[in-house]
Amino acid sequence: MTTERATPASTTAVVGLGPMGSALARALLAAGPPPVVWNRTRSRATDLAAEGAVSASDLSDAVASADLVISCLRDHATTRSVLATVPHETLRGRTVVILASATPDEARATHAWAVARGLTVLVGSIMVPVPLVGTPEAQILYAGDPALVERHRDVLERLAGRTDHVGEDPGHASLLDTAMLEVYFAGMTAFLHGAAMAAREGIDATTFAAYARDVLALLPDTVDGLAADVDAGRHPGHEDTIAMELAALEHMVATSEATGVDPSLPVLMRRLAHDAVAAGHGGDSWSRVVDVLRGTVRTPAA
């Protein structure tokens, strides 16, 4: 192994030095023993080595020097192909944390692949962008054996102040990652849709944003209420009903069409409400839409 400094007896290896892997390595450098770092394109380790990391030219040497191996490569196929180049006996006895983004099924497949090779593996999801890595606000979710998270918690908390074990099913960090991102993208897209309509009427996006924030402030309590209804399987409709909300959705579609803005988003929401009403749930609260999404309400044939 080519090193710029002596390798500590007990350390962490970071495999993959893209923007995220580099940020993880820097978070380790900032508070604790310097990590060993490895990347396919070696030049990406140059700056980190200058900052104090131990740059390894050989992946197997990097793994052999570490108790904990943090892999942050492009995807799970890449992760499997890279880890497959390391001899089994070198990987055995170390904990490998795989932080590439994946679907839940991919995460489970990678976990099964690793277990079949005798590896000890956690599959995680990084929930924050690069600048937040290593801060108290950073969040990384881990799925798999909870004892592994506890064993390495001191290192993992250097990567993210919020280090959450979310379950033993190795797909569940990826599942929550995907579902959380959906909420984020839906919110961003709805904002952009509203901003596009407002712009056509001469209201700029910054002006609209101030009002959009007022609505966003209602969402945390709204989500808690929806969650309680979904978990209880009750959709009371005491304060508002899908039939009433359908009128607002008609207004969104009409305004979108009138301003020449793609109406796909409000059309989708109107269709969900319409199907719930058509199935006899017009008097229920909006949470009933979950059953339309699940395909468990019966809509009369058109």
Ligand X SMILES: NC(=O)c1ccc[n+]([C@@H]2O[C@H](COP(=O)([O-])OP(=O)(O)OC[C@H]3O[C@@H](n4cnc5c(N)ncnc54)[C@H](OP(=O)(O)O)[C@@H]3O)[C@@H](O)[C@H]2O)c1
Q: How many CA atoms lie within 13 A of 119 on its CB side?
A: 27
We find the least distance from the C-beta atom of residue 43 to ligand X, in angstroms, to be 8
- Per-position x/- string for 283-302, each x denoting binding to ligand X as judged by CB under 6 A, each - no binding: --------------------
Considering only 49, 97, 100, 121, the residue that binds ligand X (CB under 6 A) is 100
Q: Which of residues 200-239 bind ligand X (CB under 6 A)?
A: none
Phi-psi region of 233 (alpha: psi -120 to 50; beta: other; left: phi over 0): left
Site for ligand X in 124-163 (CB under 6 A): 126, 129-130
Interface segment toward ligand X; rule CB under 6 A; list 19-27, 87-95, 108-116, 294-302:
19-27
Report if residue 40 touches ligand X, rule: CB under 6 A: yes
**Which C-beta is closer to ligand X: that of 42 or that of 151?**
42
| Binding-site member from 7, 12, 13, 20 for ligand X (CB under 6 A) | 20
Backbone torsion region of residue 134, taken as left when φ is above 0, otherwise alpha when ψ lies between -120 and 50, otherwise beta: left
In whole angstroms, what is the distance from residue 107 CA to residue 127 CA? 16
First to last CA, the chain: 69
Least separation in angstroms between residue 22's CB and ligand X is 7
Q: Residue 127 CB, nearest distance to ligand X (Å)?
A: 7
CB hemisphere CA count around 158 (13 angstroms):
18
Up-side HSE of residue 214: CA atoms within 13 Å toward CB?
Answer: 4
Cβ proximity of 246 and 277 under 8 Å: yes
* Contact residues for ligand X, defined by CB under 6 A: 16-21, 39-41, 44, 72-75, 78, 82, 100-101, 126, 129-130
